[in-house]
């Protein structure tokens, strides 16, 4: 078939369009730094690219949640240290009160001081973090502990909460976060377990668990009444109460360490995901610029040829 000027012109126009398209793609790559900017650029890479993006986003969500949890657990650890200090101070006062040289007035001062420690313990039990009560379980907008106006030291019954010096209004649900798919870890303590020695959840407690508020009330009463037997018993209870706080503090410290290790692993995974994504979608800028210059030169040459062909007519050969 004989080639005509019109056929040549249409062929050149088609090639110009192809060159223009490739030039546009290269300019897009140079501007965005990405190998492809729409699915049709590389259909085979879409599926793995989307999968790694989803995993990257999930990793970032885990890291965000764990960062918040780590901050809350640091505050919790400080609070547990303060609660332990209250019990240690109460024991020191109890030991000082046993001294035989003390007068009744001296012991009254010690008893008043222990009563103040009860108030400090109640304040610590109602501590708030970010506007939420730390020891109320899921009921973190409710004040977890209030004094029981019907409390009678002589009528105290460990098995009857209505006789306790304080009432608990939180629940038994322990807050937790997911550190990996299907793996959750506790990041808080409930007030009933920490202060009342009553854990109605999946955490076991020792049979000797203490009601910390009742212990302080018992010691205060024994010192005020100069009851040596009760004072000695109270000192042992205070030590057991402090050990209860230490045990739970140690458990939360282990959980915090697990979250820290999970954070390190997820940070490493996040870096690997970003590297894989980079291999899929990031363009080699030097290579792109080199191809862009070549393509622009080819496009300009094609334009010149097309312009010359478009000016040809029968008159050029007459």
Domain CATH code at residue 88: 1.20.1330.10
pLDDT digits (tens, 9 = 90+) for 251-281: 999 999 999 999 998 888 888 877 776 666 6
Does the residue 299 lie in any domain?
A: yes
Does the residue 151 lie in any domain?
A: yes
Rg (CA), the chain: 38
Residues 104 and 174 in one domain: yes
Does the residue 47 lie in any domain?
A: no
Residues 157 and 15 in one domain: no
Closest residue by Cα to residue 83 from 201, 243, 307:
243
Does the residue 2 lie in any domain?
A: yes
Quote the pLDDT of residue 314: 45
Residues 139 and 216 in one domain: yes
Does the residue 40 lie in any domain?
A: no
Quote the pLDDT of residue 4: 55
The answer to whether 224 touches 105, Cβ cutoff 8 Å, is no
pLDDT digits (tens, 9 = 90+) for 180-190: 888 899 999 99
Residues 9 and 67 in one domain: no
Does the residue 189 lie in any domain?
A: yes
Quote the pLDDT of residue 201: 41
Residues 293 and 268 in one domain: no
Residues 190 and 249 in one domain: yes
Spell out the per-residue pLDDT of the chain, length 318, in tens: 455 555 655 665 665 666 566 666 656 666 666 666 665 556 656 677 677 677 888 888 889 989 999 999 999 999 999 999 999 999 999 999 988 788 889 889 999 999 999 999 999 999 998 889 999 999 999 999 999 999 998 889 888 989 999 999 999 999 999 988 888 999 999 999 999 987 554 333 444 689 999 999 999 999 999 999 999 999 999 999 999 999 999 999 999 999 999 999 888 888 887 777 666 666 656 665 666 667 666 656 666 666 665 555 544 444
Number of domains in the chain: 2
Does the residue 41 lie in any domain?
A: no
Residues 62 and 133 in one domain: yes
Supply the range of the domain harboring residue 106. Answer: 52-273
DSSP state of 164: S
Does the residue 45 lie in any domain?
A: no
Residues 17 and 60 in one domain: no
The answer to whether 189 touches 170, Cβ cutoff 8 Å, is no
Residues 201 and 158 in one domain: yes
Quote the pLDDT of residue 310: 59
Residues 138 and 162 in one domain: yes
């Amino acid at each position: 078939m004989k080639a005509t000027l019109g056929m040549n012109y249409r062929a050149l126009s088609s090639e110009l369009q192809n060159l223009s398209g490739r030039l546009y793609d290269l300019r897009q790559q140079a501007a965005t730094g990405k190998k492809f900017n729409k699915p049709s650029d590389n259909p085979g890479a879409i599926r793995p690219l989307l999968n790694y993006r989803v995993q990257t986003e999930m990793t970032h969500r885990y890291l965000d949640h764990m960062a918040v949890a780590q901050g809350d657990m640091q505050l919790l650890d400080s609070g547990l240290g303060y609660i332990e200090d209250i019990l240690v101070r109460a024991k020191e006062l109890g030991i000082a009160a046993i001294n035989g040289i003390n007068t009744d007035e001296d012991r009254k001062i010690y008893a008043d001081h222990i009563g103040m420690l009860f108030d400090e313990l109640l304040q610590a039990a109602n501590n708030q973090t970010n506007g939420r009560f730390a020891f109320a379980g899921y009921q973190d907008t409710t004040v977890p502990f209030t004094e029981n106006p019907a409390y009678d030291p002589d009528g105290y019954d460990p098995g009857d909460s209505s006789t306790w010096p304080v009432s608990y209004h939180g629940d038994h649900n322990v807050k937790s976060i997911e550190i990996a798919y299907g793996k959750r870890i506790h990041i808080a303590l409930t007030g009933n377990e920490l202060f009342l020695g009553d854990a109605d959840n999946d955490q076991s407690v020792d049979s000797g668990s203490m009601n910390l508020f009742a212990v302080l009330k018992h010691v205060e009463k024994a010192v005020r009444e100069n009851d040596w037997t009760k004072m000695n018993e109270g000192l042992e209870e205070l030590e057991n109460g402090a050990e209860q706080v230490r045990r739970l503090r140690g458990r939360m410290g282990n959980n915090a360490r697990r979250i820290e290790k999970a954070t390190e692993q997820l940070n490493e995974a996040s870096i690997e995901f970003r590297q894989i994504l980079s291999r899929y979608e990031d363009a080699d800028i030097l290579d792109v610029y080199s191809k862009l210059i070549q393509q622009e030169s080819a496009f300009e040459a094609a334009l010149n040829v097309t312009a010359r062909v478009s000016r040809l007519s029968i008159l050029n050969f007459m």
